[in-house]
Amino acid sequence: MSKRRKRKPSVLRHKFTVGMQKKLVMLFIAILLAFVILVGRITYINATSGSKYRKDRGTRKEKFSSFIECFFSFFLVRITYVCNVIY
């Protein structure tokens, strides 16, 4: 007769202890509470002074030109950094 080998418990089948489960539940509740507070704060700011924080919508040409300026300035900074590092 062949002997049966005992299987090692898989890492994926690891069971959480009761203390660990309580800590995970408390962490989950804390994260949910933080999101609820954040949404409430954003809603309050929007209700009281939303017009102050509204984005100024420029023309399409202005938006495109500002995008191009940001795009090229980003790469210009990177290129000068690389050149300074190499030389």
Q: What is the pLDDT of residue 21?
A: 92
Sign of the torsion angle spanned by Cα atoms 66, 70, 73, 79: negative
10's tokens = 């898989």
User: What's the pLDDT tens digit per position in 54-83?
Assistant: 666 655 556 666 767 777 777 777 777 666
User: What's the pLDDT tens digit per position in 36-52?
Assistant: 999 999 899 888 887 77
Integer Cα distance of 5 and 43 in angstroms: 61
Q: Which of 4, 8, 24, 7 is nearest to 16 (CA)?
A: 24
Question: Predicted confidence band at 11 (pLDDT cuts at 50, 70, 90)?
Answer: low
- 0.75 surpassed by pTM: no
Q: What is the pLDDT of residue 26?
A: 96
